[in-house]
Amino acid sequence: MTDVLEQAEERAAVAVDEVARTPRRTASQRRRTRRLLLFVLLTVVAVVMAAPFLWMLLTAVRTPQELFAVDMPLLPREWHWENFSTALATAPFLTYARNSFVIALTHTLSNLVLASMAGYALAKIRFRGSTVVFAFVLASMMIPFYAIVIPEFLMVRHVPLAGGNNLFGQDGIGWIDSWPALLVPGLVSPFYIFLFRQFYLGTPTELMEASRLDGAGEIRIYSRIISPLIKPGMLTVALLAFESGWNNFLWPLLVTSRSEMRVIQLGLSVFRQEAGTDFNLLMAGTAMAAVPMIVLFAIFQRQFVNGMVATGIK
């Protein structure tokens, strides 16, 4: 009698167990399948986005004969890694890299400070004229660079008391061919003001008021309380500004004449001559130029982690 009961109990227990276990198994299976699908999808996307870059690398290690052969194979027959060092030696790239780095770093820092301040003010502070300032910032993004490059050049050329200029900016060459010409005009860019404003809009104004009541000064509120809340925004601007400064081309070309002042993108143009393009060296050079940016991004994107930003309201 007890045996039958026990057996029934056991069977019931097993049944219950199975029922209990089944949804969990299916749920985690579901999750795992979803993860797998996601992984596959992202891989496809990553391949589509990165394929041209990979092709660039493959091109970089080929010989010119292979590049122009009728039956060029997908993978290079021989991997000419020395193309990278050849490319480096074709022009003083280390000097160019140093210059590009200085420009990129300077513009990043200046934008992080000045553009964030302006973006903060436009987003969080009600002051007369803020609409005008915002409209002005927006409008200044809408003129193509080619239209203002000559006036800007003339301004740089006629800076008073620089480069041999007199008080009226005549008779010398101003900032032409010197660091201020490369650094000063790009210290603040309207795009980043707009972007910062966007990020700051998402921060809680109540926090600002609470801090004011606590006696915090405006600068402290800006720098210690509100700005830390938009760390992803700060990183985004930093990465974008650095990339922009790093890849600067036309302006440095116009305002510099000596090769000691030149930048990476100008250096890369040595592979594109009127007579023809050294495709493999150009690709090698471009790949190398992109590496610092890729490394920076790979490092800092780790900071983009969900929920790391608290809303800050206690």
Partner 1 sequence: MTTTTAAPAATGRRAPRRQTLARRQAVWGWVFALPATLHIALWTGFPILVAMLLSLTHYDMLNPPSWAGISNYTAIANDPLFWRAMWHNLIIAAVGIPVSMLLALVLAVLLNQGVRGTGAFRTAVFLPHVTATVAIAMIWLWIYSPGQNGLLNYVGGFLGIPNQPFLNSPSQALPAVILVTIWQGLGLKTMIYLASLQTIDQQLYEAAEIDGASAVQRFRHITVPILAPTTFFILVTSIIGNFQTFDLIYVLTSGGPANSTTVVTYEIYETAFQQFRMGLASAQSVVLLVVLVVLTVLARRLTGGRDD
Partner 2 sequence: MELNRRNFLTAAGLGVGGLLLGACGSGGGTGGGGGGTGRVSILTPEFAGTEGKETFEGTILSGFPDTSFAVDYTDWNRLNEKLSAAVAGGVVADLIMLGAGWVEPFAHKGVLAELPDSLADGKAINENLFKVAGYEGTTYAMPYFVDGRILMYHREMFDKAGISEDALPTNLEDFREMLKEVKPDGGVAIDLFTQNLRQVWAHLLGAFGGSMFSEDGMSVAFTDGSGVDALQYLLDLVDDGTIDFSVQGAEGQPRPWQQKVAAIDLQNSSAWPSLTEQTPELVTPESMGMMLLPSADGGDPVMFQGGTLLAVSSRSKDPELVQELVSFLLEPENMLPAVEMVGKVPSRDDLDDPIVTDNLMATYIIDNFEYATAYEGGSPAWMEVRGAVEGEIEAAVVGQKTAAEAIDALASLANDALTRV
Chain CA centroid to CA 269, Å: 22
163 binds partner 2 (CB under 8 A): yes
The DSSP code sequence of 200-233 is: HHTS-HHHHHHHHHTT--HHHIIIIIIGGGGHHH
Q: What is the x/- site pattern for partner 1, positions 204-223, by CB under 8 A?
A: xxx--x--------x---x-
Q: Pick one of 163, 174, 233, 245: the residue that binds partner 1 (CB under 8 A).
A: 233
> Which is nearer to partner 1, 8 or 45 (by Cβ)?
45
Q: CA 102, CA 123: separation in Å to the nearest integer?
A: 30
- Expressed in angstroms, the distance from the first to the final Cα of the chain is 64
* Residue 259 binding: pick among partner 2, partner 1, none (C-beta 5-8 Å cut-off by kind): partner 2
12 binds partner 1 (CB under 8 A): no
201 binds partner 1 (CB under 8 A): yes
**277 in helix, strand or coil?**
strand
| Residue ranges in 139-178 that form contacts with partner 1 under rule CB under 8 A | 139-148, 150-152, 155
* Residue 18 binding: pick among partner 2, partner 1, none (C-beta 5-8 Å cut-off by kind): none
User: Which alpha helices (H) appear in the chain, and where do they start and end?
Assistant: 2-60, 64-67, 82-90, 93-110, 116-124, 130-140, 145-157, 179-183, 190-201, 205-213, 218-220, 231-246, 250-255, 264-268, 279-300
> Residue numbers of the site for partner 2 (CB under 8 A)?
64-65, 67-70, 89-92, 102, 105-106, 109-110, 112-113, 149-150, 153-154, 157-158, 162-164, 172-180, 183, 223-224, 227-228, 231, 250, 253-254, 257-259, 266, 269-270, 272-277, 279, 282
